[in-house]
Amino acid sequence: MAKRKKRSSRIHIKSPEEIEEMRVSCEIASQILQSTAKFIEAGKTTKEVDLFAAAQIKEHGCESAFLGYRGFPGNICISPNAEVVHGIGGDYVIQDGDVISIDVGITKNGWIGDNATTVPVGDIDDDTKRLLAVTEQALYEAISYAREGEYLGDLCAAVSDYVSQFKMGVVKELVGHGVGRDLHEEPSVPNFRPAGKTPVLRTGMVLAIEPMINLGTARVDFLDDGWTVKTKDQKNSAHFEHTVCVGEHAPDILTARPREATPELLGISL
């Protein structure tokens, strides 16, 4: 779950033991995300998807990290098409050609696992396929900087630097974040280079890295439900997220899952 942009302060460094405890939560979150993605199909409502995820969360003996968070009413965030993030499951009937962003956060033994993907439904157009491929690759461009001694600013800039060549919009009002026992910890992780000096990354920092990329304008509207964020021009948006531990020599993706939106898988070229 993305958070509103905010200045960073103290960053919690997790011990190796805490990372292993957190890995359990993250692996469960990844499993639930993948099973929920497979459940999505034309004809189902977004509420049905939310309830399916809720059943999966219960089956794994954990709790939704989102339900009730600052009053959020859903078990997961489910955001069709032009909805960027924080959509609430409801009566919307999923259709062939849609893209559905789902964001799953769970709590297990006091630790959060947080991850997201965007699911194509049936036959989507080539521009939207490129949006998915670019957004997922932007996530991995940023993840590649999650190593001891790199600067947070360079990790953040990796997203916008990669996306800029495709003339797509990088959402600036919402950002990734640190994560651990709390859903939103420091630091903020924008998808562009933040102003001023940024922290040096240290082994044991855990970041929820989550590019939110729009096919058209980067501008967004916040809807009256107090949660849903939608593109200003009503063009499609995509959202991919991993919880990542900064490693001494290489990133450690705690919510690891197979790649889902490479050009090869989508049958396109960039």
pLDDT digits (tens, 9 = 90+) for 166-194: 999 999 999 999 999 999 999 999 999 99
Q: Which residue has the tokens 């996306």?
A: 163
pLDDT of 7 higher than 60:
no
Sorted by where each starts, the structural domains of the chain and their CATH numbers stand as: 3-266 (3.90.230.10)
- Amino acid symbol at 149: G
Rounded CA separation 105/254 (Å): 13
pLDDT, residue 37, reads: 98
Rounded CA separation 134/50 (Å): 26
Query: Region 238-259: what's the mean pLDDT?
Result: 98
Residue 151's SS3 state is strand
Q: How far is CA 59 from CA 28, 53, 62, 183, 248, in A?
A: 11, 10, 8, 21, 35
Is the pTM above the cut of 0.85? yes
Asked whether the CA dihedral 88, 89, 95, 96 is positive or negative, the reply is positive
pLDDT, residue 4, reads: 72
pLDDT, residue 100, reads: 98
Rg over alpha carbons for the chain, rounded to the nearest Å, is 17
Contact 202, 47 (CB under 8 A): no
pLDDT, residue 3, reads: 84
Element containing residue 108 per DSSP (H, E): strand 99-108
pLDDT of 8 higher than 60:
no
pLDDT, residue 233, reads: 98
pLDDT digits (tens, 9 = 90+) for 138-163: 999 999 999 999 999 999 999 999 99
Query: Region 27-36: what's the mean pLDDT?
Result: 98
Mean pLDDT of the chain: 97
